[in-house]
Structure 1
């Protein structure tokens, strides 16, 4: 077994992997950005190394820096978690070329299945049904028009390296093609370092079913049941559950075996997820989708997934431990017949978002953080009360997983657990989750992937937020007296914690003006925002950033005439693109934003006369 594993990630998934390592007797190494100096995964690890500034591209996406940290720490292996570099074949190859072992599928498999067009070809050859679409990347908007004229609207433009809805744009009519083609390319480049896109027929109201796979180096391929991820917003999963409440056992088995066939054909090993879309073409009197329902391969996630916890609760199999053992050369200790699903499980993503405000992401300090407990309740997180939820990365900071003997008990237990979950200082989606548990479409299992975007009344979300949501974002008071002082010191990039105690001394004010922990670092200040706080001296109406993020595109120049509603620039925050629009017509007198720049909430982006 490995002696030391570097976890190339942050937050709750990093802690999840580290817990598995600890139970296996393996030491852990964390990597962190300037924004994450005091994060939970850094506290949990046996040792930690700074790999760059807050911007993900300069830290968590910096493969060279991460490998260097692993070599410096003497790590035997690297576990990527999910997101960031987890599905980056070049990073996997970089680890494979080092003295460390990659805990995941081979870089060749990742390249084959990570690119959507090559994955489609591979699955078709294995007899797995695929959605009608292009087998090669499209190079122009004209190619998309030609496909749409033949297949009909809507069509989906998808980034080759995309996943989880990122880099995917749905085109309803011809006039949208140019903008959405460029947007899909931009997201593909930003998130996956690949601006190639392809196009396929868009299925408007399917079920989203995925099959968890684990395979070893000895030719053993197992599926660990399926999960239903049909409750989505803008193609982002919100609540996941298993088993699916929509499938007959016959259709369930057919989809699961298709996933195994696909993994076998691709010589896949380690953990992965084969995702499918199921159309409502064979619904029986019991309301379930039968064996004659059309289902199509969607994609392979060549990594552990956010919702792997659902399968773990149903089977008792620790998927992360199996990943580590497989990477170490061990054979899977169970046969397919020994995989048994017990009961029903659901996972609720706890995001720092205001569902009543179009799920706008936010930040803040967890002034109160009191998670639920009891029978059948599991929490995966990395935060503790008093921690800051930063805005530099994904908005999810915890996951609540609930198990019940059947779906009805799981729903009831979930209602109880979410009602017990107390969070103050940060606005979360918990009120939205509580609404869903009493929603007819979801509680009866009849929802599809378009339910949230097209059918749910937004007023219901607003009412739920008012009923169950704290105000969030309140400013915490400063400690009156501080006698214990924690220092964080970096020496050659490695993090050390120093604790000092002074009696009767005034608190030390941190450099950013908040809290009582002084940060000492040999690294320079992190980027993001202008030195003057994004101020502008130009006269006129200032258009400011409504959230912290990164400028992906600037659409105007000084002297341009704009109308109300025109897009001035595109701001990426929490992995979502947000159009910054003009509230009125006018002339652009100053453009303060530049492409690639990190900005803070309130920074001036554009000034209109």
Structure 2
């Protein structure tokens, strides 16, 4: 077994991996950006190293910086978690060429299965049913039109390096082709450093079923049953469960065997997930996720198998210690993603301070997180702050237990999707198990979500009141020596608290950023005396759609802002002429920053 593992990730998945390491007697190393210097995964690790500024491309996605941190820490293995570089074959290859062991599938298998067109060919060769689509990347919007002429609309344009709905755009007709083509390429480049795209026939209302796989270096391949991920919004999973309420025993067996066979034929090792779409009693291969999944705790709950520990053991060269016949499904489990989003505002990302953070507990309840009360939730990364996993003897009991656990889960200070989840566990379509992937986007009445948030949402009007009687002030200082993080805690009596910058994390020590309004104090941002379009959230400018002098109408998109891995269209509320564009592509902005001025 390994001596020390560096986890090349952040948040709850980093802590999840570290906990598995700790139970196996393995020391842990965290990496962190400037925005995460006080984050939970940094607090948990045995040691931590700074790898760059807040922007993920300059920190968590900086391969050289992460490898240098591993060298400084003298780590002998690297676990990528999910997201960031978890499915980056070139990074895996660099780790394989270093003195560290890569805790994941071989880079060659990642390259074959991580790029969707190659994966489709591999599964087709293994006799696994595949959705009709292109087997090579496309380079021109005209290829989309030609594909639609043969297969009909809608058509899915997908980023080759994508996953979880990232980099996938749906073309409903000829007028959508160019915009969706560009958007898919842009997302592929932004999230996966790969703008290559391909096409698939889009299945309107399927079930989304995935099979958990574990394979070792001794030729053993096991599947751990399936998860149903059909409750999705904009192709992003929001609730996952296992086993699926929609599969017959025969279909379940055929899907599990197809996943195992497809993986066995590619010389794949370590953990992975084979995803399928199920429609009309037929199933089609969708993609392989060459990593641990967000929803892996569902499988752990119903099988009793610690998948992360299996990843560590397999990477260390050990043989899987159980047969396929040993894998038994016990009861039912559901995972609820607790995202910092306002479901009543089109699930817009939410930022703020966790004034109250009191997770659920009790029998059959598991919470994976990396936050604690008082932490600041920023907009630099994914909106996921925790996962609630509920396990019970059957689905009916699991739903009842979920309702209780969600009621107990208390978060104040910012919006989360807990009110939406509380609605779902009493929703007839979901509780009846008849929902499909388009249920939330096309069938659920949005007014029901608004009422749920109004009833169960946080009281964000209440500020954080200081205790005037507090006699002890704790001061936390972060000291970095050669990029390694050390934390110093001091207690002072009778001293005033250190004022903190709202954008600097959970403690002091960050440099204060001038207020955006002060930055624009010379009047340049108010040119034209017209509408000033401001950022409604913290994020990064992905695209600027207008230039000075352009005429825009109310509702026209002027910018595309990426926040917490979601693209958000910034629109003009009224018509006018663009007087100034104050930002450019790639620039980071804070909530309230001026973006465009109309006259």
TM range, normalised to the smaller chain? over 0.9
Q: What's the counterpart of residue 207 of structure 1?
A: 207
The verdict on how the C-alpha distance between 1:71 and 1:452 changes in structure 2, with shifts beyond 3 A counting, is same
Q: How far is the alpha carbon of 1:212 from its aligned partner? A: 0.1
What's the counterpart of residue 364 of structure 1?
A: 352
Q: Which residue number corresponds to residue 324 of structure 1?
A: 312
Say if 1:55 and 1:527, in contact at 8 Å, map to a contact too. no
Distance 1:490 1:562 in 2: 49
Contact 2:544 2:584 in 1 (8 A): yes
Please report how far the alpha carbon of residue 579 of structure 1 lies from its aligned counterpart in structure 2 after TM superposition: 1.0
- Segments of structure 1 that go 5 or more residues without pairing to the other structure are 282-292
Match runs of 1:61-460 below 5 Å = 61-279=61-279, 281=280, 293-460=281-448
- Per the alignment, in what secondary structure is the counterpart of residue 493 of structure 2? coil
Task: Answer whether contact 2:560 2:570 (CA < 8 A) is retained.
Answer: yes
> Are residues 543 and 597 of structure 1, via their aligned partners in 2, closer, same or farther at CA, if it must alter by over 3 Å?
same
SS class of match (1:324): helix
Number of residue pairs matched?
593
How far apart are residue 526 of structure 1 and its match?
10
Offset of residue 486 of structure 1: 1.6
Distance 1:455 1:417 in 2: 26
Per-residue deviation, 1:501: 2.5
Q: Which residue number corresponds to residue 455 of structure 2?
A: 467
Matched, 1:485 2:475: yes
Distance across 2 between alignment mates of 1:324 and 1:5: 10
- Which of 591, 594, 597 is matched with 1:604 structurally? 594
Give the C-alpha shift of residue 528 in structure 1. Answer: 11
CA distance in 2, matches of 1:124, 1:486: 56
Quickly say closer, same or farther: Cα 1:508–1:232, change in 2 above 3 A.
same
Residues 108 and 226 (structure 1 numbering): CA distance in 2 closer, same or farther, change over 3 Å?
same
Contact 1:509 1:515 in 2 (8 A): no
Q: Secondary structure at the match of 1:465?
A: helix
Given that 1:39 and 1:383 are in contact with CA atoms closer than 8 Å, whether structure 2 keeps it comes out as: yes
The answer for the alignment partner of 2:574 in structure 1 is: 584
Aligned to 1:505: 495
Q: Give per-residue Cα distances to partners, 1:398-437, cap 9 Å, x unaligned.
A: 0000001000000000000000111100211001001001
Give how far 1:342 is off.
Answer: 0.3
Secondary structure in 2 matching 1:518: coil
Question: Cα distance 1:372–1:194, how it changes in 2: closer, same or farther (>3 A)?
Answer: same
Secondary structure of 1:146's match?
helix
In 1, Cα distance between equivalents of 2:77 and 2:299: 25
C-alpha deviation, 1:512, in angstroms = 5.5
Q: For 1:474 and 1:597, how far apart are their aligned partners in 2?
A: 32
Q: CA deviation at 1:569?
A: 1.0
1:131 Cα deviation after fit: 0.3
Residue 527 of structure 1: how far off its partner (Å): 9.8
In structure 2, relative to structure 1, the CA distance for the partners of 1:8 and 1:553 (3 Å cut) is same
Which SS does the other structure have where 2:179 is aligned?
helix
Label 1:529 to 1:82 Cα distance change in 2 as closer, same or farther (>3 A). farther
Paired position in structure 1 for 2:8: 8
Extract unaligned runs of 5+ from structure 2.
Answer: none
Give the conservation status (yes or no) of the 8 Å contact 1:528–1:599.
no
Paired with 1:515 and 1:7, the residues of 2 have a C-alpha distance of: 21
8 Å Cα contact 2:35/2:505 also seen in 1: no
Distance 1:301 1:461 in 2: 31
| Cα distance, 1:475 vs structure 2 | 3.2
Distance 1:251 1:510 in 2: 56
Q: Is the 8 A contact 1:527 1:598 kept in 2?
A: no
SS of match in other structure, 1:157: strand
Q: How many angstroms apart in 2 are the aligned matches of 1:555 and 1:367?
A: 38
SS in 2 for 1:179: helix
Structure 2 CA distance for partners of 1:477 and 1:506, relative to 1, 3 Å = same
Q: Give the distance between the partners of 1:273 and 1:164, measured in 2 at CA.
A: 12
1:253–1:326 CA distance, 2 compared to 1 (3 A)? same
Q: CA deviation at 1:530?
A: 6.6
CA distance in 2, matches of 1:226, 1:11: 25
- Paired with 1:477 and 1:127, the residues of 2 have a C-alpha distance of 63
Aligned equivalents of 1:380, 1:314: Cα separation in 2: 16
Q: Which moved more, 1:556-565 or 1:191-200?
A: 556-565
Taking the aligned partners of 2:66 and 2:218, their CA distance within structure 1 comes to: 30
The alpha carbon displacement at 1:532 in A equals 4.7
Is the CA contact 1:225–1:256 (under 8 Å) kept in the aligned structure 2? yes
Cα deviations across residues 102-140 of structure 1 (Å, max 9, x unaligned)?
Answer: 000011111111100010001000000100011111110
**Alpha-carbon contact 1:53-1:527 (below 8 Å) kept:** no
Residue matched to 1:287: none
Distance 1:101 1:108 in 2: 15
User: CA separation in 1, counterparts of 2:549 and 2:235?
Assistant: 38
Normalization by structure 1: what TM-score?
Answer: 0.95
Distance in structure 2 (CA, Å) of the matches to 1:556 and 1:171: 23
Q: 1:446 to 1:110 in 2, by over 3 A?
A: same
Cα deviation digits, residues 209-234 of structure 1 (max 9, x gap): 00000000111000001000000000
**Distance change (3 Å), C-alpha of 1:160 and 1:474:** farther
1:25 to partner: Cα distance: 0.3
Q: 1:598 to 1:322 in 2, by over 3 A?
A: same
Secondary structure class of the residue paired with 2:14: helix
Q: Given that residues 3 and 27 in structure 1 are in contact (C-alpha distance below 8 angstroms), is that contact kept between their aligned partners in structure 2?
A: yes
